């Protein structure tokens, strides 16, 4: 069944959501909503749908809404959508603070509506396939590096690292017990570089680095298991599994360590644009009556860990 939806926000992210929904067979893009009428009109013309300046104007015509506006408006607009009885997907982070995020989750639970959070990296085909190869991680290292842009005013912890925190929490299956962090600002008023270590109750250690002062774009996750290493290149959407084959000192010649390893590059079952896969999961969840892959509680957990890292960085 085709789900009628509205996109709230006609900016950069709202335009991307509208683009995908306009082409998604299981969805019907009914309207783009923006408080700026001119922006709403332009987006509606581009994607061939109606426009509105508030959720109430489309009430009764849509079943679900995508909130793709600046973070500081997420709580207010998500609550409006939920109060209108709409299933809602909110771009990450779910809200400016954990308390506000909890308020949104509680409102959705009380209203009986579906709440999803737009942690789009979880829908990278390489991430979707990770549970096939990661079962008992003992160490996870992530690197998220980008060149500087003045388009985003949020610090790198909530803007960039939050993607990797969501993935690490998903893979860990445990509760963070200890957090340390270092933060640095070099080109903006918020942190442009963040390095954090999270130790989980299970013993898993995760080290995460995020910066927007790099010269290229890197998106990488390296997971060490007891019997292998799983290396994930999120840019190439590729997983490589490395297993030690031999490690010995040859008996002749100059004393040296001889090592050999086996590398496997598995075929990934999932293919496609992560945002397309995210919206497909949301619409399918509504049709099937199941929870979305990234629900409100996952959004709160990632935001809570962001706040702990920011607090630790401020102390250190």
pLDDT band at 256 (very low <50, low <70, confident <90, very high): low
Mean residue pLDDT across the chain: 93
What are 100-130's pLDDT values in tens digits?
Answer: 999 999 999 999 999 999 999 999 999 999 9
Asked if pLDDT for residue 1 goes beyond 60, the answer is: yes
| Lowest mean pLDDT, pick from 12-16, 71-75, 185-189, 278-282 | 185-189
What is d(CA 110, CA 175) in angstroms, rounded to the nearest whole number? 26
pLDDT confidence of residue 176: 97
| Lowest mean pLDDT, pick from 126-130, 145-149, 249-253 | 249-253
pLDDT confidence of residue 20: 98
Query: Looking at residues 50-79, what average pLDDT do you find?
Result: 96
Query: Looking at residues 4-21, what average pLDDT do you find?
Result: 97
pLDDT band at 250 (very low <50, low <70, confident <90, very high): low
> What CATH number belongs to 3-113?
3.40.50.720
What are 261-275's pLDDT values in tens digits?
Answer: 788 899 988 889 999
pLDDT confidence of residue 241: 95
pLDDT confidence of residue 117: 98
What are 225-248's pLDDT values in tens digits?
Answer: 998 999 999 999 999 999 886 655
Asked if pLDDT for residue 258 goes beyond 90, the answer is: no
Its CATH class, for the domain covering 123-271+304-315, is alpha beta
Asked if pLDDT for residue 257 goes beyond 60, the answer is: no
Higher pLDDT, 44 or 189: 44
Render the chain in DSSP notation, one character per residue. Answer: -PEEEEEE--SHHHHHHHHHHHH-TTEEEEEEE-SSHHHHHHHHHHHTSEEESSGGGGTTT-SEEEE-S-GGGHHHHHHHHHHTT-EEEEESSSSSSHHHHHHHHHHHHHHT--EEEE-GGGGSHHHHTGGGT-SS-SEEEEEEE----SS--S-HIIIIIHHHHHHHHHHH-S-EEEEEEEEE-SSSSS-SEEEEEEEETTS-EEEEEEES--SS-EEEEEEE-SS-EEEEETTTTEEEEEEEEEEE--SSSS---EEEEEEE-PPPS--S-HHHHHHHHHHHHHHHT---SSBHHHHHHHHHHHHHHHHHHHH-
pLDDT confidence of residue 214: 87
Kindly report the number of other CB atoms within 10 A of residue 220's CB atom. 17
Asked if pLDDT for residue 181 goes beyond 90, the answer is: yes
Query: Looking at residues 160-177, what average pLDDT do you find?
Result: 96
Decide if 3-113 and 123-271+304-315 have a common fold: no
pLDDT band at 179 (very low <50, low <70, confident <90, very high): very high
- Enter the pTM of the model: 0.91
pLDDT confidence of residue 113: 98
> Where are the chain's structural domains?
3-113, 123-271+304-315
Note if the bond before 133 is cis, omega within 30 degrees: no
pLDDT confidence of residue 252: 59
pLDDT band at 18 (very low <50, low <70, confident <90, very high): very high
Asked if pLDDT for residue 97 goes beyond 70, the answer is: yes
pLDDT confidence of residue 208: 98
């Amino acid at each position: 069944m085709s789900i009628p939806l509205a996109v709230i926000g006609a900016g950069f992210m709202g335009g991307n959501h509208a683009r995908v929904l306009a082409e998604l067979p299981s969805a019907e893009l009914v309207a783009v909503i923006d408080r700026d009428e001119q922006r709403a009109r332009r987006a509606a013309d581009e994607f061939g749908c109606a426009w509105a300046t508030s959720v109430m104007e489309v009430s009764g015509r849509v079943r679900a809404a995508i909130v793709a506006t600046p973070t500081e408006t997420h709580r207010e607009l998500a609550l409006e959508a939920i109060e209108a009885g709409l299933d809602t997907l909110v771009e990450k982070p779910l809200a400016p603070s954990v308390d506000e995020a909890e308020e949104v989750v509680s409102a959705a639970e009380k209203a009986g509506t579906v709440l999803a959070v737009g942690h789009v990296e979880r829908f990278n085909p390489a991430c979707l396939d990770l549970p096939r190869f990661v079962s008992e991680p003992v160490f996870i290292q992530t690197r998220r590096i980008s060149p500087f842009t003045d388009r985003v005013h949020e610090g790198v912890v909530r803007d960039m690292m939050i993607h990797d925190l969501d993935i690490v929490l998903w893979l860990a299956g445990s509760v963070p017990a200890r957090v340390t962090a270092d933060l640095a600002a070099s080109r903006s008023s918020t942190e442009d570089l963040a390095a954090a270590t999270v130790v989980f109750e299970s013993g898993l250690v995760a080290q995460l680095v995020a910066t927007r002062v790099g010269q290229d774009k890197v998106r990488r996750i390296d997971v060490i298991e007891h019997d292998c290493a799983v290396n994930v290149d999120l840019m190439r959407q590729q997983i490589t599994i490395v297993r030690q084959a031999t490690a010995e000192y040859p008996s002749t010649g100059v004393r040296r360590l001889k090592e050999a390893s086996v590398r496997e590059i598995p075929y990934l079952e999932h293919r496609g644009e992560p945002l397309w896969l995210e919206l497909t999961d949301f619409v399918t969840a509504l049709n099937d009556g199941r929870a979305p892959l990234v629900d409100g509680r996952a959004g709160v957990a990632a935001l809570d860990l962001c706040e702990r890292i920011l607090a630790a960085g401020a102390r250190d």
